[in-house]
């Protein structure tokens, strides 16, 4: 008997009509003989509403109480979906994170899953012969015994973690798109849905701007080898399409050189001029940023002509730009730089593909194509399966369309 985890995101449970539709998707799998556990998000917009209430209560609210408030959104959805399933003849019971329990670290608002009692979930599936509808995004702190939340997109992580714990055959992530595309179809109408994507490719796509799945959930799926399918809940539950399977590289027969183009406009660039070229200077720059929870990307270091100083350029999210500058200005004496320059209005565009490992000249093709379009590259970073360039935001769509075409992704 197949064992399956089905996760429904906020847009898939945005109202009772959408919840009833989700219930029909679940019923299809149950009728096919599968043991099913469901993980749900809060209704679309509900978490934002609850966060706003916390801020209204106090600008400096207690993060532990914040967790208690925002976790209620998923609790409502889980109960409503269980009721909807019961109304169409499917035995179902809702469960909160603390009831499973999904054990987590203590960090309020950004806890990480440390363990799940998978045997208890399986016992409920088998012994009770009912669908377990689990509130995602939340758990129970081992240290404090309090409800915790996993951060935005945490329901994806909940679903993959539950799938790993119960040794599910696969984890289906239902959202408002029918799979993973070569790039955003709103930017490139010729973008194609991919049948399969390797874990590593999906991890790069998620971290570089593709918002279909949360980065931590992809990391966990790759670590635990959980086969994950991205599907649309908006399709007819009686005849849904197969979606995109996220799997091991070995499960992909034909590997294109480039699988997809990701982009993010939410970037800012910081350059530190004439930094002392000595051991420990990089740590002096990036450790305070890490401690403040600021994610740094695209680090480029260029030695100066005097051989004793260097210029260091890196990117941060535009929302962290002002905080990052303030931290660096505060630690100027420890770092020892001559000037700090910063600019918003930049975008990161990336070409991703496991086929890059076995092909040469992939980066040169991109640089030549962008040059011919008059697009100036501010910074470049590469890995085995990724090429990222930093450009002016105004050229984002042109760059995405250019790379999508030059790597043959326009072709059916």
- Are residues 298 and 184 part of one domain? no
- Are residues 289 and 240 part of one domain? no
Last residue of a domain, one of 195, 230, 250: 250
Residue 49 scores a pLDDT above 60? yes
72 by DSSP, 3-state: which? helix
Q: What's residue 69's pLDDT? A: 96
Q: Is residue 255 part of a domain?
A: no
Residue 74 scores a pLDDT above 80? yes
pTM, two decimals, is 0.87
376/212: higher pLDDT: 376
* Mean pLDDT computed over 352-377: 92
* Mean pLDDT computed over 309-336: 91
At residue 107's C-alpha, the angle toward residues 102 and 113, to 5°, is 25
CA 97 to CA 142: how far, in whole Å?
12
CB atoms within 10 A of CB 21: 20
Q: What's residue 234's pLDDT? A: 94
At residue 179's C-alpha, the angle toward residues 361 and 161, to 5°, is 100
Cβ within 8 Å of residue 220, ≥6 positions away: 113, 157, 160, 161, 164, 226
Q: What's residue 292's pLDDT? A: 87
- Are residues 131 and 172 part of one domain? yes
Last residue of a domain, one of 216, 250, 284: 250
CA 53 to CA 55: how far, in whole Å?
5
How many folded domains does the chain comprise? 2
- Are residues 53 and 22 part of one domain? yes
DSSP string, 169-205: SEEEEEESSSS-BSS-TTT-TT--B-SEEEHHHHHHH
CATH of the domain at 386: 3.30.2130.10
Per the omega criterion (within 30 degrees of 0), is the bond before 101 cis?
yes
Q: What's residue 412's pLDDT? A: 56
- Are residues 332 and 186 part of one domain? no
265 by DSSP, 3-state: which? strand
Residue 127 scores a pLDDT above 80? no
- Are residues 297 and 236 part of one domain? no
Q: Is residue 256 part of a domain?
A: no
CA 203 to CA 171: how far, in whole Å?
16
* Mean pLDDT computed over 213-232: 93
60 by DSSP, 3-state: which? coil
Last residue of a domain, one of 196, 215, 250: 250
Residue 306 scores a pLDDT above 70? no
Q: What's residue 89's pLDDT? A: 97
CATH of the domain at 232: 3.40.1160.10
Q: Is residue 266 part of a domain?
A: yes
- Are residues 338 and 211 part of one domain? no
Q: Is residue 186 part of a domain?
A: yes
Residue-number span of the structural domain to which 287 is assigned: 261-406
At residue 104's C-alpha, the angle toward residues 136 and 76, to 5°, is 25
Q: Is residue 139 part of a domain?
A: yes
Q: Is residue 411 part of a domain?
A: no
Helices and strands, counts by H and E, the chain: 13, 18
- Are residues 339 and 200 part of one domain? no
Check if the beta carbon of residue 254 is closer than 8 Å to that of residue 196. Answer: no
CA pseudo-torsion sign 198, 248, 204, 13 = positive
Q: Is residue 84 part of a domain?
A: yes
- Are residues 344 and 277 part of one domain? yes
125/149: higher pLDDT: 149
371/357: higher pLDDT: 371
- Are residues 184 and 90 part of one domain? yes
CA 137 to CA 157: how far, in whole Å?
8
Check if the beta carbon of residue 380 is closer than 8 Å to that of residue 300. Answer: yes
DSSP string, 327-393: HHHHTHHHH--SEEEEEEEEEEEEEE-GGGGG-SSHHHHHHHHHHHTTPPPSEEEEETTEEEEEEEG
- Are residues 243 and 304 part of one domain? no
Q: Is residue 412 part of a domain?
A: no
Q: What's residue 256's pLDDT? A: 81
- Are residues 155 and 114 part of one domain? yes
Q: What's residue 124's pLDDT? A: 78
């Amino acid at each position: 008997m197949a064992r399956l985890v089905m996760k429904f995101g906020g847009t898939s449970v945005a109202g009772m009509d959408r919840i009833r539709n989700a219930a029909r998707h679940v019923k299809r799998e149950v009728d096919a003989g599968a043991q099913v556990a469901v993980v749900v998000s809060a209704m679309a917009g509900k978490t934002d509403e609850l966060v706003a209430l916390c801020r209204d209560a106090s600008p400096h609210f207690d993060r532990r109480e914040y967790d208690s408030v925002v976790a209620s959104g998923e609790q409502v959805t889980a109960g409503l979906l269980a009721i909807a399933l019961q109304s169409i003849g499917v035995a179902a019971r809702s469960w909160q994170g603390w009831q499973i329990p999904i054990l987590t670290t203590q960090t309020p608002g950004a806890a990480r899953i440390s363990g799940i009692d998978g045997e208890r979930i399986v016992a409920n599936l088998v012994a009770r012969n009912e669908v377990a509808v689990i509130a995602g995004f939340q758990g129970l702190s081992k240290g404090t015994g309090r409800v915790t939340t996993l951060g935005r997109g945490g329901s994806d992580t909940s679903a993959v973690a539950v799938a790993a714990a119960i040794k599910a055959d696969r984890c289906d992530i239902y959202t408002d798109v029918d799979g993973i595309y070569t790039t955003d179809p709103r930017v490139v109408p010729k973008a194609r849905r991919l049948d399969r994507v390797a874990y590593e490719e999906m991890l790069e796509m998620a971290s570089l701007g593709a918002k279909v799945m949360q980065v931590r959930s992809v990391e966990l799926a790759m670590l635990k080898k959980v086969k994950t399918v991205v599907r649309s809940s908006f399709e007819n539950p009686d005849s849904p399409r197969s979606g995109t399977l996220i799997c091991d590289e070995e499960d992909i027969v034909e590997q294109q050189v480039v699988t997809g183009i990701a982009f993010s406009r939410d970037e800012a660039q910081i350059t530190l001029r004439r930094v002392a070229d000595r051991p420990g200077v990089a740590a002096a720059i990036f450790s305070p940023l890490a401690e403040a929870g600021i994610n740094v990307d695209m680090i480029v270091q260029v030695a100066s002509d005097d051989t004793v100083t260097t210029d260091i350029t890196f990117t941060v999210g535009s929302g962290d730009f002002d905080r990052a500058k303030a931290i660096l200005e505060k630690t100027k004496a420890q770092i020892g730089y001559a000037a700090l320059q910063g600019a918003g209005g930049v975008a990161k565009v990336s070409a991703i593909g496991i086929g890059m490992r076995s092909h040469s000249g992939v980066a040169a093709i991109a640089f030549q194509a962008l040059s011919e379009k008059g697009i100036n590259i501010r910074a470049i970073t590469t890995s085995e399966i990724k090429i990222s360039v930093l450009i002016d935001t105004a050229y984002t769509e042109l760059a995405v369309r250019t790379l999508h075409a030059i790597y043959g992704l326009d072709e059916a």
